[in-house]
Amino acid sequence: MNRQRSHRLTRADWLQTGLEALASDGPAALAAEPLARRLGTTKGSFYWHFSDLPTFQAALVAQWEVDAIRQADETLTNAPNDVSRLRLLAQIITSKPDGDATYSAPTEPAMRAWALSDAAVAAAIERVDETRIGHLRQLLQSVGVSNPEMPRIIYGASLGMEAIAPSEPAQNTDAVGTLVDLVLALR
């Protein structure tokens, strides 16, 4: 993606472009030169914002983690009741909030793929997973579902939905919502 440079690039611009590059081309695309090409600038701008590539990559992972946890936390406060919160939280992976490229369909699996070869990314994924599963557990208990395995089942289904049909987020979101509805009907 080549952007018009009508303003000075910010750290956030580089991180957003990094997430887009990770989603489309994997972690190999997270280098100063290819990112600068995407932004239509020189790599000097990259080094203005980040001292080196590991610093950039750490910032990228940290930003993704903060955004992922923030989104899960906001779900708990923005939905009108626990059933709605449960449904929305279960659908986080498969949906894309308007204007939020950090949750475009390929970003989460790309981050998870990167985690297979990078311990720091794996640790961030683990913290996000623990937060999301913890929220699911809390919500399931509040609506009367006491099976301790159910949070992991719903979460795993959400991750799997995205993996089997990443180009169809609406169908994935609907399917995960149906799973939650089924669990609630069986309680």
Residue 81 belongs to some domain of the structure: yes
Q: Which residues contact 61 (CB under 8 A, 6 or more apart)?
A: 111, 120, 121, 124
CB-CB contact of 71 with 128 (8 Å): no
Residue 17 belongs to some domain of the structure: no
Q: How many domains does the chain contain in total?
A: 1
Residue 98 belongs to domain with CATH number = 1.10.357
Residue 69 belongs to some domain of the structure: yes
Query: Whole domain around residue 125: which residue ranges?
Result: 54-185
Residue 33 belongs to some domain of the structure: no
Q: Which residues contact 24 (CB under 8 A, 6 or more apart)?
A: 106
pTM of the model: 0.87
Per-residue pLDDT band for 96 (boundaries 50, 70, 90) equals: low
CB-CB contact of 125 with 115 (8 Å): yes
State the Rg of the chain over Cα: 18
More confident residue, 186 or 124: 124
Structure tokens at 94: 């498969």
Buried b (16+ CB within 10 A) or exposed e, 157-187: bbbebbeeebeebeebbebbbebbeebeeee
| pLDDT tens per residue, range 109-136 | 899 999 999 999 999 999 999 999 999 9
